[in-house]
């Protein structure tokens, strides 16, 4: 059974397992640590200005998304590869979007690969996100305005 709920600090080990399992936008634990992303930093973030949601199947996290209410950024969306194409990513993204807009942002943003060959590039565009052409640390900034 698939269910969605708000992320807690106790979810961080499973969240990291999901993020490290992604294939198209693969990342190593060392690279995350270089960027200051650790289980402790994410747990602290959700105690401050960030919020996230997880998708669970059989009590195991299979996907998650997070955003930051201060910046209006969708900071991460990740799924286990076996769960792609089932609407889970879309649902998680919508949860973060709704929260960021409810937090007062008229425009929210995220970064993704600027290469249109990557699935994420078309995924975000299909959901109304627009590329800006601005490159941040090798990724392109996409924006979405409140309707």
Q: 134 is written with which tokens?
A: 């601005």
Per-residue pLDDT reduced to its tens digit, 56-115: 999 999 999 999 999 999 999 999 999 999 999 999 999 999 999 999 999 999 999 999
Task: Enumerate helices (H) and strands (E) in the chain, giving the number of each.
Answer: 5, 7
Q: CB 14: neighbour CB atoms within 10 A?
A: 17
pLDDT value, residue 61: 98
| Distance (Å) of CA 74 to CA 1, 2, 57, 59, 60 | 26, 22, 23, 25, 23
pLDDT value, residue 47: 79
- Under 8 Å between Cβ of 74 and 123: no
Q: 87 is written with which tokens?
A: 């609407």
Per-residue pLDDT reduced to its tens digit, 30-56: 787 788 777 788 878 887 889 999 999
Q: Which range among 34-43, 111-120, 137-146 shows the weakest confidence by mean pLDDT?
A: 34-43
Integer Cα distance of 53 and 17 in angstroms: 15
Instruction: Delimit the domains of the chain by residue range.
Output: 2-145
CATH of domain 2-145: 3.40.630.30
């Amino acid at each position: 059974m698939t269910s969605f709920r708000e992320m807690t600090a106790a979810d961080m080990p499973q969240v990291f397992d999901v993020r490290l399992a992604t294939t198209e936008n693969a990342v190593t634990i060392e690279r995350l640590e270089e960027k200051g992303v650790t289980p402790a930093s994410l747990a602290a973030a959700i105690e401050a200005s960030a919020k996230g949601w997880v998708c669970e199947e059989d009590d195991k996290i299979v996907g998650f998304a997070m955003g930051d209410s201060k910046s209006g950024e969708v900071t991460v969306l990740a799924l286990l590869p076996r769960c792609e194409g089932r609407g889970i990513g879309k649902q998680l993204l919508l949860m973060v979007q709704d929260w960021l807009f409810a937090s007062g942002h008229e425009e929210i943003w995220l970064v993704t690969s600027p290469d249109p060959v990557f699935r994420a590039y078309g995924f975000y565009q299909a959901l109304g996100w627009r590329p800006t052409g601005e490159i941040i640390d090798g990724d392109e900034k996409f924006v979405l305005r409140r309707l």
